Amino acid sequence: MNSPTNQPADNPANDPANDPANDPPIGLVLDLSALLHYAAMTSSVVIGELIIETADQGVTIAIPTYAYVAALTQSTGDVHARLQLLGTFPHVTLLNPVNTLQDAEDLALLLSTVFTDTDRGYSALLALQHDAVLVTATRDTYASLDHLDVIELDG
């Protein structure tokens, strides 16, 4: 039984392994179109190899939770299974980019001025928050965003 006040050694927050600052950097963000291209194996631009290379470089792939759920919803069979597989890799993480009022303001701005669909807003916001490279099959839809690095998958 823990004492009412955790000693430093007992407090998981004091374990360096639990410090978010020690997490591997987020190198890539996959949007819904990238997820569906990966899962359907319709991209000729090395999505599987990108996933392997990020593992080798010790960086993390982030997927907006919204996009992952949307991809699962739209898929069945082997396509669905490949999406599930992607989520099991230790260097792949699901993230919700909207956790503060400022995040909500940023997303609202993206959805009111740049995008017509929610998925791209979440994906762009997540990439901007982490200065990460966005992987998508629809590069043009992100063209108006300054400072956003994009890798485009082709079909």
Q: Does 140 bind other proteins (CB under 8 A)?
A: no
Single residue of 19, 23, 149, 154 touching other proteins by CB under 8 A: 149
Distances from the Cα of 4 to the Cαs of 10, 11, 15, 72, 89, in angstroms?
A: 12, 11, 19, 43, 37
Please state the φ and ψ torsions of residue 146, each to the nearest 5 degrees. Answer: -70, 150
Single residue of 33, 37, 54, 70 touching other proteins by CB under 8 A: 54
Q: Does 155 bind other proteins (CB under 8 A)?
A: no
Q: What residues pair up with 136 in beta bridges, in sequence order?
A: 152
Q: Does 72 bind other proteins (CB under 8 A)?
A: no
Tell me whether residue 70 or residue 125 sits nearer to other proteins (CB atom): 125
The token pair at 47 is 């999505």
What's the min distance (Å) between Cβ of 4 and other proteins? 36
Q: Does 60 bind other proteins (CB under 8 A)?
A: no
Q: What residues pair up with 151 in beta bridges, in sequence order?
A: 135
> Cβ distance 13 to 54 under 8 Å?
no
Residue among 35, 149, 46, 14 nearest 94 (CA): 35
Single residue of 10, 78, 117, 154 touching other proteins by CB under 8 A: 78
- Pairing outcome for strands 133-136 and 60-64: unpaired
Binding site for other proteins (CB under 8 A): 27-28, 41, 45-58, 78, 81-82, 85, 88-91, 105-106, 109-110, 113, 127-129, 131, 133, 145-151
